[in-house]
Amino acid sequence: MSIQNIPRRRFDALIIGAGGGGLRAALQLAEADANVAVVSKVFPTRSHTVAAQGGMNAALANVLPDNWHWHMFDTVKGSDYLGDQDAIEYMCRAAPKVVYEMEHFGVPFSRLDNGKIYQRPFGGQSQNFGGEQAARTCAAADRTGHAILHSLYQQNIRAKTNFFDEYFAVDLLKDDEGNVLGAFVFNIHTGEELIIEAKTTLLATGGAGQLYRTTTNALINTGDGMAMALRAGLPLQDMEFFQFHPTGIAGRGMLITEGARGEGGYLVNAKGERLMERYAPKAKDLASRDVVSRAIYTEVKEGRGCGPEKDHVMLKLDHLGVDVIQKRLPGIRQTCITFLGIDPAEHPIPIYPTAHYTMGGIPTDRYGRVVTPVKDTPEEVVNGLYAAGECACVSVHGANRLGGNSILDILVFGRAAANHIIDYLKDVRYHKPMDENSVTQAYERLHRWDRTGEGESVEQLRKELKRAMEDNCGVFRTQEILDNGIKAVQQLQERMKDARIRDHSALFNTARVEALELENLMDVAMATVYSAGARHESRGAHSRIDFPDRDDMQWMKHTLFFKEGNKLDFKPVRTKPLSVASFPPKARVY
């Protein structure tokens, strides 16, 4: 189809992404009578939120004493003091309300005998600012994300949200002043192209776990929204902080939720020792994720790993008894039986750290507005563009996310972004004229992948990228390793220019999607490894063997990576909360 004949549809708000973040925002907008479109490259209930197991944090105090201020302290400490304290306060205060909303939307949370919502202990949670373990994670057994996503989808159907299922967003569309005015998308099934014009656009495209070979993330988590932002000239923030979850199934990467340790599971090495006693004497197996991942990695490196290759440790659950496992962790039990042939009620599970969560992302404020630094001012709002969920960096997770805080983040800030959009729409009542050059660029980007036949294979390049990131930007880093990573990604980006897709008509569109996703992954990989090479300290998930200490004098700042010329900039951490005193940086001990 020629570019002039591509159909156009107009909406008040376009949301790219139908995970928890996108659907929560869509619901708020549709209920406010906004005309909202949600585009998703997979059927909405297959979005990756569906995989969330353990639960979402909120200080409900249903099991143990708790309050939002303790939750805030734990989140600031968990972030290794890089999180913005205004956003963290906002999130922790909003948490109980957001949980009750979800309950009313139909989420079947697990219950206590008194009928209240069940809450389990998770890593990095404490009572009274670092005291005894707290129990703050609200769960629907170990299928919390599934329950949340399905409830939100059903509510959106009721509210008459317009869905574009299995449409791939190629790029953002802009006017000649750089304001974002929608997106160029295509139907993966038919190849039909569509220009969606919108007064506001919200990116809710999730994380980029496909950067790594061993990952808990689905094939769809390719950082598309982050790459769209980079191509639109916007920076990505704090990309060096990538979370490796301590308990992935060894060699395969599937997640065993932290909830398994929350229910009383623990890690042992080849000698049968409870290894976390060595690394986190107080919190032990419920220390923060970065701490537990480094501990496992160190045990294996020092020869105390299990199995013939001594390349993993064991997670013991059998002492919990079959009833607890079946009631609280039925999905985990099933995963182990299906993929390992092991029943965790009888045998320990072989585990090793696996790539899990993108802490960095598109910089936003706590209203979900995308913000970018301009000369001499720390931030400027990009009119009409919003981001929420794992693709955004607000930043509530800083250098290390606490388990159970992501589902909370996507719901709190999906909702907040929608509320801001509702206000914005009161002032912006008409569609602005599009810069047709931006349509042409997106069209050409898609049609570059009409090329089939001989040349570099997209599949091969994708494998090599994942291997390069795993080898050069993993749990422990040095300058030499990271510089190798930068070189490797640069070479792959060059080779990508000659790549071709499979010449197989039945799979033509999916092959085009894979190529577009790989281009996105390459940009996000560069942002990640380049930012990691620049940060000369160890903080949270970013562990530098050559700079082992946290350096608050030099590095209490956010990194901003721009695609053009691989340029870096920095901006200050917002250490001032909204209504309480700041939590100043302290040594982070668990």
Residues identified as active-site: 289
Nearer to ligand FAD, 48 or 550 (CB): 48
d(CA 366, CA 409): 10
One of 13, 36, 37, 47 touching ligand FAD (CB under 6 A): 47
One of 216, 237, 288, 400 touching ligand FAD (CB under 6 A): 216
Contact residues for 495 (Cβ-Cβ < 8 A; gap 6+): 456, 461
**Four-residue CA torsion sign, 476, 477, 481, 486:** positive
Q: How big is the site for ligand FAD, counted in residues (CB under 6 A)?
A: 45
Closest distance of CB 136 from ligand FAD, Å? 11
Closest distance of CB 526 from ligand FAD, Å? 18
Contact residues for 57 (Cβ-Cβ < 8 A; gap 6+): 71, 95, 122, 125, 136, 137, 138, 402, 404, 405, 408
Longest dimension (CA), the chain: 69
Instruction: Count CB neighbours of 4 within 10 A.
Output: 7
**Four-residue CA torsion sign, 133, 137, 138, 144:** negative
Subset of residues 379 to 438 that bind ligand FAD, contact rule: CB under 6 A: 389-391, 404-407, 410
Subset of residues 148 to 207 that bind ligand FAD, contact rule: CB under 6 A: 168-169, 204-207
Closest distance of CB 256 from ligand FAD, Å? 9
Closest distance of CB 466 from ligand FAD, Å? 16
d(CA 149, CA 154): 9
Any contact of residue 523 with ligand FAD (CB under 6 A)?
no
Nearer to ligand FAD, 391 or 475 (CB): 391
Closest distance of CB 99 from ligand FAD, Å? 12
Nearer to ligand FAD, 98 or 255 (CB): 255
Amino acid sitting at position 416: A
Subset of residues 555 to 574 that bind ligand FAD, contact rule: CB under 6 A: none
Nearer to ligand FAD, 17 or 235 (CB): 17
Direct distance between the N- and C-terminal alpha carbons of the chain, in angstroms, rounded to an integer: 60
Over the window 16 to 35, marking each residue x when it contacts ligand FAD by CB under 6 A and - when it does not, the resulting string is xxxxxxx-------------
Any contact of residue 499 with ligand FAD (CB under 6 A)?
no
Asked if 547 and 538 count as a contact pair (C-beta separation under 8 A), the reply is: yes
Nearer to ligand FAD, 122 or 561 (CB): 122
Nearest to 586 by CA among 555, 561, 559, 552: 552
Any contact of residue 119 with ligand FAD (CB under 6 A)?
no
d(CA 587, CA 105): 41
Amino acid sitting at position 321: G
Subset of residues 53 to 72 that bind ligand FAD, contact rule: CB under 6 A: 53-56
Closest distance of CB 530 from ligand FAD, Å? 22
Cα 481-522-40 angle, rounded to 5 deg? 135
Binding site for ligand FAD (CB under 6 A): 16-22, 39-42, 47-49, 51-56, 144-145, 168-169, 204-207, 216-217, 220-221, 224, 255, 257, 356-357, 389-391, 404-407, 410
